[in-house]
Amino acid sequence: MNVLLISPKVMVPGWELLIGGYTIGSGILYIAATVRQAGHNVVVELGNEDNIISLIKKHSPEVVGVTCLTATYPTAKNLINLIKKFDTAVLTVLGGHYATFMTREIFSECSVDYILRGEGEIAFVKLLKEIETGNTYSIIEGIAFRKMKKIFNEHSYTLLKDIDTIPYPAIDLVPKEIKDFMPIIHTSRGCPHRCSFCSVSAFYDGKWRARKIENIIAEIEAYASQGIKRFYFIDDNLTVDTKRVRTICKELKDKGLDDLKWRCLSRVDSIYKDPVMIDKMADSGCTSMSLGIESGVQEILNRYKKNISLNHVEEAVKIMNDSSIFHGWYMIIGSGDEFDAPKYIEKNINFMKKVKFDVLQISILTPFPGTELYAKIVAENRLLHKNWNKYDCTHCVYQPLHLTPEQIEQYHIKAYRTLYLDRGLDLFKIAYKGFNSGFLSPTMILTSGKHGMDIIFKKKKFYEAIESFE
Ligand code: B12
Ligand code: SF4
């Protein structure tokens, strides 16, 4: 069968603007790999309202699969509606975090035929097989569908039992518009923690599954043999099991793969518990790492169920500053409860001054469907709107208890301004370290500088400034 896989071609304010282009997640590339392995013709494209019909004409697909997050769902919905208007015979499938949690709402406003709930590698291939044999309404675990205005299999959900059985993501199918694509490797999927705001804990239901080390190393060897020099361990939390990470590092060295540069995401607790792991990581090619502190107020961390203490944060920051690894931290403005008050936001910002970060990405707390936070905000009737494209962590989309949404957005800017200006001349050293680590590119520095100027001198809102990127 001809299968067209689409990732929405959108500039959601965030990393794409900083990296100066469009982006694609690994999910759709994993789906592409399994579809190809099952013997179908598959192409991956970036789609928007302007190019979708020409893509359909070009590839003549029998099935179109579209991926989405919350912020990219509006585009995904428009694409599917346009496809079905153009040719009802083309079957459409939507997957991703938003699709998993908002199945019923999606069927009420989008002409999509199937919604994939959970991980799609096995279920999607089963669906293609059924469609090929003429069974368009089979019950398959993880696939909801609509027949005669009724929704079937709505609560079915699928997670892979063994993540070693799936092929490597089809990075050779990454669309040409994506500049400077860095191969993404998952050594594990999910996370055992259950932070209240996190879509990952909701999507994987607090489950963490690790791949076999031989399989991970074989994937890296495959990339190295193609001349690839850097990659991203994109696990939600690479360091859940620090012993395992040390083994991966040892294997990288033993196999002579330590000249490849890599980056990853980690957590404060594994760093202060096993600081030697950080040395091993640096020694085996790790040049940059991102970590969530989220808040400098212990009460808020407890509400987030983050399971870390501010003492541990300080310890972890010290360890990272003593290492050669370029480190980026995540911080959130907003708590979603009574701590949404000036006193606590100021306290949050003041604590972050102690964190001698290399980079800091500050988000506004965003209630993503499926999360505990979303359920709470909805139950308290404090969701301001469902303009999902604004669920990009730069807009305040809920009503805070003791502030206005605009005040939260102003604090977002204040936090950036205060915390970066506080680093003073260190910023030059940081830029140098960032270049060397491969984390920062000249485009990122120039773009962020321009955004900063627009915010300070033109008094633009944060999201207006980053939207002005061309
Ligand atoms: C790498 C990453 C990025 C990268 C790449 C973005 C991208 N487009 O994926 C960058 C840094 C650019 C980024 C940016 C953002 N990100 Co991000 N990101 C991630 C991260 C860490 C990994 C993504 C990934 O590779 N997942 C692994 C794959 C295998 O899973 P998957 O994509 O869900 O796909 C599986 C299933 O969902 C399903 N499936 C998905 N699509 C389809 C389609 C079909 C047809 C089928 C059959 C099945 C299917 O099958 C797939 C295979 O099992 C995730 C966390 C996570 N675990 O997903 C956060 C995450 C996706 N990001 C998130 C957010 C909020 C953002 C930003 C809005 C933040 C910001 N302001 O910058 C932007 C939005 C960017 C955009 N336009 O997409 C949230 C999304 C929450 C939500 N519910 O919407 C996540 C979940 C983080 C979190 N902890 O909450 N991100
Ligand atoms: S925020 Fe990080 S630690 Fe918490 S559940 Fe999500 S991925 Fe895990």
Q: What is the pLDDT of residues 288-328, one digit of tens each?
A: 999 999 999 999 999 999 999 999 999 999 999 999 999 99
According to the model, what pLDDT value does residue 261 have?
95
What is the CATH T-level fold of the domain 2-152, as seen in this structure? Rossmann fold (3.40.50)
In sequence order, which residues have a C-beta less than 8 Å from that of residue 194 and are 6 or more positions away? 201, 206, 305, 372
Residue 182 vs residues 258, 262, 320, 392: alpha-carbon distances, Å: 17, 10, 24, 22
Q: Where are the alpha helices (DSSP H) in 72-206?
A: 73-86, 97-101, 103-109, 121-132, 199-203
Residue showing tokens 């963490």:
208
Tell me: pLDDT of 19 over 70: no
User: Domain locations in the chain?
Assistant: 2-152, 180-469
How many Å lie between the centroid of ligand 1 and the Cα of residue 117? Answer: 14
Buried b (16+ CB within 10 A) or exposed e, 192-210: ebbbbbbbbbbbbeeebeb
Please state the atom number of ligand 1 nearest to the C-alpha of residue 393. Answer: 71
Residue to mutate, 208, 237, 306, ligand 2, most ligand atoms under 8 Å from C-beta = 237
- Say yes or no: CB of residue 235 within 6 Å of ligand 1: no
According to the model, what pLDDT value does residue 14 have?
62
3-state secondary structure at position 33: helix
Half-sphere exposure of 75 (CA within 13 A, CB side): 23
How many Å lie between the centroid of ligand 2 and the Cα of residue 368? Answer: 14
Identify which of 97, 104, 140, 88 has the alpha carbon closest to the alpha carbon of residue 119: 97
Q: What is the pTM of this model?
A: 0.95
According to the model, what pLDDT value does residue 268 have?
95
Residue nearest to atom 3 of ligand 1 (CA): 25
How many Å lie between the centroid of ligand 2 and the Cα of residue 267? Answer: 8
Q: pLDDT band at 469, cuts 50/70/90? A: very low
List pLDDT tens digits, range 381-410.
999 999 999 999 999 999 999 999 999 999
Residue to mutate, 189, 201, 301, ligand 2, most ligand atoms under 8 Å from C-beta = 201
- Say yes or no: CB of residue 191 within 6 Å of ligand 2: yes
**Ligand approaching nearest to the C-alpha of 267:** 2
- Say yes or no: CB of residue 292 within 6 Å of ligand 2: yes
Count of beta carbons in the 10 Å neighbourhood of residue 330: 17
Cβ atoms of residues 58 and 84 within 8 Å: no
Q: Is the dihedral of CA 57, 58, 64, 66 positive or negative?
A: negative
- Say yes or no: CB of residue 14 within 6 Å of ligand 1: yes
- Say yes or no: CB of residue 202 within 6 Å of ligand 2: no
What is the CATH T-level fold of the domain 180-469, as seen in this structure? pyruvate-formate lyase- activating enzyme (3.80.30)
- Say yes or no: CB of residue 71 within 6 Å of ligand 1: yes
Domains 2-152 and 180-469 share a fold: no
